[in-house]
Structures are given as C-alpha cells and as structure tokens.
C-alpha cells in the first residue's frame, strides 16, 4: 500500500500501464507513459542538483506534462510548489523567494512574460522547459524536456521519502498582504485521498474532471484520487468556464463521471449551460467547495441533474477537507 503520493502512480502504472491517465483535449498520456516521463524527469532533476527537501516551482498551464512534473518532483524527495501561470511575475518572484526554489519547471512562453530580474534572488540549479529554451539570458542553466529526458533511466530513482516529508506547498491568495505558503505532507494529503476514494467510491472506470488550477487545493482531489484509483483525468481547458455551453459540451464529450469545482461554475452551468440538451448519463458524482452555493441555484442544479450524487466539501487548505454534507 502506498504511503507517499507518488507511489500511487507507480502502483497504478503497474496495474494498468496502457490505460489513459490524463488528457487535455487531444494530448494524452497512459499510466505507463506518465510513470516513465515522471521517472525520467526525477532523474534529470537529481542530476541537476535537486535533493530531498528542496522546493521546486511549477509555473505551467495545465497539461499532461504539468501532471508529470508534479510526480517527477515528488520522486526526488523534493516538494512541488505550483504557481498560477496567470499571476504577475512579481507574485512568482515572492513565492520563489519565500520557498528558495532549487529549480523551476516552466515553458518558454511563460518564462518570457517575466522580467529579467524576477528570479535573480533565487540560487537555482536549473530551469526546466517543457518545450524549448527561450532566447534570453537565464539566471540558471536551461534544461529542456526533449533534450534531457530521453536519456534518463525509466525506473524510479532510489530516493528514500517518508510520509512526514513535504509533498507540496500551496500559497494563499495574499489578499491581506504577502502570499503565505501552506506546507502539506504526504501523510496529510494521502489521508484525505484515501478517505475521498472510499467515501465516493472512485474506481478505474471513472473519469475525473480537473477544473481547479493546480495552485488551488481542490486540485489535490482531482489528481491524486484519480491516480490512486487508476482512473482517467480530463484537464478542463483554462478559460472554458467562461463559456458554460461549451463547458457542458466538454463534460458530455469527455464522458466525465466525477465533477469537482467551485459553486459559481455549477451555477453558470445550470443557468446558461443548456444542460437539458446534453447527455450527462455518465455523470455520477458532483462535488463542490470553496464558496457558498446559493440555495436557489443549488436547487436548480439538482432539478436539472437528478441522478448524480452531490456533496458539499469544506475545509481550509491545511486539511484539504475537514467536513462534508451530502445534498439530497
């Protein structure tokens, strides 16, 4: 049985290597491919100087490569720190300063948004690019996935990680001042994931949406509950929530069985998403958290989706979820 988060992937890859693990529209990785890619990234990070306990920034839009990066970082014994790719460069700089990033995983397009001085305070071993290295001066050696990863070993690195080690750091909105990081251990997250999989009967026939950004704690369920069960993850394209008709089509076409988002998105779906025109017969579970769900909109959603089980989850980032209520 897994006692750290990245073991969930290794175990599911052993059981179901050819099953789809993660998809973003026409980009997909099987469990075997995701395990291999994350292992190779872990070896490349270690080769660059990453050691257990380091903090590694992930500054990426959602993609299969971003999921591989999350697992690759944890397999080094380091913890991942996801940064909102739509946030200003100064926020990345402040998070990098507080964490002392040992490395950063990003894309050339995102990196070029940053001012040259943003990361100067961090003494990083390397900057990893999922695509190509930008034509700009860098404060650390550049490593690209295409050039570096294929030559790395495909087996997991032999790194001793225990359940009390840090798995990830999530930063609050910083609305009252400087962003503040919440440090979560493998044990903390895995305890929640084990509970969630049991409570909501997540299995390998499920397909979970991944709507929340990776820097928001809802993403912990989306990623790790799916991987534990050997289920598939459908990454919701960024910005799609602003178009509820297209979003409801996405849920139908992706054959989503488990949906998890903030109530505002579900409100938009129920009022403007033309749910009555969609075949959502595979949708069996709707979870929501992060804000109040106005009763009138919840009742509308329940009338439009009478079949799925629905539950309101609640909890601070420090605990993922500490209480929940099933909607009848």
Task: For 73-93, write each residue's pLDDT tens digit.
Answer: 999 999 999 999 998 888 888
C-alpha span between 220 and 193 (Å, rounded): 8
Can you read off the two tokens belonging to residue 300? 């509308």
pLDDT of residue 103 exceeding 70: yes
The pLDDT assigned to 113 comes to 81
| Alpha helix (H) residue ranges in the chain | 5-15, 31-48, 64-74, 89-99, 108-111, 145-148, 186-199, 218-220, 226-229, 244-253, 263-272, 295-304
Q: How far is CA 120 from the centre of its chain?
A: 27
Q: Which domains does the chain have, with CATH numbers?
A: 23-185 (3.40.50.980), 200-327 (3.40.50.980)
Q: What are phi and psi of 180, to 5 degrees?
A: -120, 130
Looking at the DSSP bridge assignments, the partners of residue 210 are 235
- Least confident range from 24-28, 50-54, 226-230, 316-320: namely 316-320
C-alpha span between 139 and 123 (Å, rounded): 8
Confidence of residue 118 (pLDDT cuts 50, 70, 90): low
pLDDT of residue 175 exceeding 80: no
What pTM, to 2 d.p., does this model score? 0.96
Task: For 185-217, write each residue's pLDDT tens digit.
Answer: 999 999 999 999 999 999 999 999 999 999 999
DSSP-derived 3-state class of residue 208: strand
**Crossing angle (nearest 10°) for helices 263-272 and 244-253:** 100
Task: For 8-55, write each residue's pLDDT tens digit.
Answer: 999 999 999 999 999 999 999 999 999 999 999 999 999 999 999 999
Number of H helices, E strands in the chain: 12, 15
pLDDT of residue 117 exceeding 60: no
The pLDDT assigned to 319 comes to 82
pLDDT of residue 119 exceeding 90: no
First to last CA, the chain: 34
The pLDDT assigned to 115 comes to 64
C-alpha span between 167 and 178 (Å, rounded): 22
Closest CA to 289 of 306, 272, 264: 264
The pLDDT assigned to 93 comes to 87
The pLDDT assigned to 81 comes to 98
């Amino acid at each position: 049985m897994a006692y750290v988060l990245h073991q969930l992937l290794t175990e599911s890859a052993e059981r179901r290597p050819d099953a789809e693990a993660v998809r973003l529209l026409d980009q997909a990785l099987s469990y075997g491919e995701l395990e291999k890619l994350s292992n190779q990234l872990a070896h490349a990070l270690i080769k660059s100087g990453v050691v257990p306990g380091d903090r590694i920034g992930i500054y990426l839009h959602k993609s299969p490569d971003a999921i591989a990066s999350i697992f690759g970082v944890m397999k080094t014994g380091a913890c991942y720190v996801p940064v909102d790719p739509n946030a200003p460069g100064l926020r990345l700089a402040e998070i990098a300063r507080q964490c002392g990033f040992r490395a950063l995983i990003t894309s050339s397009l995102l990196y070029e948004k940053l001012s040259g001085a943003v990361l100067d305070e961090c003494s990083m071993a390397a900057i990893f690019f999922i695509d190509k290295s930008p034509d700009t001066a860098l404060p650390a050696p550049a490593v690209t996935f295409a050039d570096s990863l294929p030559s790395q070993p495909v087996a997991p690195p032999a790194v001793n990680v225990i359940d009390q080690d840090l798995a990830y750091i999530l930063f609050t909105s910083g609305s009252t001042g400087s962003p503040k990081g919440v440090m979560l251990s493998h044990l903390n997250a895995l305890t929640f994931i084990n509970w969630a999989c049991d409570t909501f009967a997540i299995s390998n026939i499920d397909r979970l949406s991944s709507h929340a950004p990776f820097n928001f704690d809802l993403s912990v369920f989306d990623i790790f509950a799916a991987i534990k069960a050997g289920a598939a993850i459908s990454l919701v394209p960024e910005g799609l929530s602003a178009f509820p008709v297209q979003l409801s089509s996405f849920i139908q076409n992706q054959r989503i069985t488990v949906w998890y988002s903030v109530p505002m998105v579900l409100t938009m779906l129920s009022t403007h998403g033309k749910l009555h025109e969609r075949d959502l017969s595979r949708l069996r579970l709707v979870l929501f958290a992060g804000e109040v769900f106005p009763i009138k909109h919840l009742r509308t959603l329940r009338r439009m989706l009478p079949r799925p089980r629905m539950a309101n989850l609640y909890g601070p980032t420090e605990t993922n979820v500490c209480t929940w209520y099933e909607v009848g």
